[in-house]
Amino acid sequence: MRKMMELYRGKTKTLYSTDQPDLLVLEFRDDISALDGKRVDQFNRKGLINNKLNYFIMSHLQKAGIKTQIKELYSHNATLVKNLKMAPLEFVLRNRAAGSLVKRLGIKEGTALCPPVFDLFLKNDDKHDPMVNSSYCRTFGWVSSDHLSRMREITFQTNKILNTLFSEIGLILVDFKLEFGIFQNEVILGDEFSPDSARLWDQKTFHKMDKDLYRQTQVGLIEAYEEVANRLGVNLD
């Protein structure tokens, strides 16, 4: 499989075409960004760690019955993936209060949310990813009602599977964000699952082991990501 043209360069990942129209190369760069891209930095090895972590977690979800975009590892920092038609939406599920929920509602960080809270955001950097709901999706035609229901259902299923996975390695899955696309009229989990797009806290110490370390200008980001990978048994060589 040959990597060909750059199709899309996001804040942390780049998508390339290949010699097969149904397949793309998803490359994880060492970049990290916050504040809608106003703050950008590089961390050595972050691309490799997130690529391997994402591949491990997506494979785990796949084994549990969730269809994902991944085909196979392409290189240390890239994965061969199915070419999905992505929905312009972010599906967020929260098991504990953190981040924008704390800011918006003033709820104490760490408060358990039972049942989990589901949020939907439009992917639009210029508009700062505004919160939307199913009615907006119908009116503006971002995704069909059937596909939206399926995406929401898979988000909750993913939460169950990953809550178990992370609790077995002493981590709390605080919240996470998923993105979906359509392949041959079927909803498929796309994009990534990594500590860039999820909050993970140590069960005993409540230490943050995710991108909040960068957002809140603390140190130890790569060490924390490596620790998550090590606890999961992901080979980072």
Residues in touch with ligand TMP (CB under 6 A): 90, 92, 98-101, 121, 129, 175-177, 197-199
SS3 192: coil
DSSP string covering 126-145, please?
GGT--EE-HHHHHHHTSS-H
Which residue number, 27 or 196, has a Cβ lying nearer to ligand TMP? 196
Which residue number, 121 or 201, has a Cβ lying nearer to ligand TMP? 121
Return d(Cα 233, Cα 73) in angstroms, integer.
Answer: 16
Min separation Cβ 4 and ligand TMP, Å: 28
Min separation Cβ 20 and ligand TMP, Å: 29
Min separation Cβ 150 and ligand TMP, Å: 20
Paired with 15 in beta bridges are 8, 26
Which residue number, 5 or 35, has a Cβ lying nearer to ligand TMP? 35
Instruction: Give the CB-nearest residue to ligand TMP.
Output: 99
Instruction: Give how far the C-alpha of residue 103 lies from the chain's centroid of Cα atoms, to the nearest Å.
Output: 21
Which residue number, 71 or 88, has a Cβ lying nearer to ligand TMP? 88
- Pairing state between β 13-18 and 23-28: antiparallel
Return d(Cα 20, Cα 225) in angstroms, integer.
Answer: 33
Q: Is the dihedral of CA 232, 36, 154, 65 positive or negative?
A: negative
HEC letters along 149-208: HHHHHHHHHHHHHHHHHHHHCCEEEEEEEEEEEEECCEEEEECCCCCCCEEEEECCCCCE
Min separation Cβ 1 and ligand TMP, Å: 28
Which residue number, 2 or 127, has a Cβ lying nearer to ligand TMP? 127
Min separation Cβ 39 and ligand TMP, Å: 14
Min separation Cβ 237 and ligand TMP, Å: 27
**CA angle (165, 95, 208) in 5-degree steps:** 70
Which residue number, 191 or 227, has a Cβ lying nearer to ligand TMP? 191
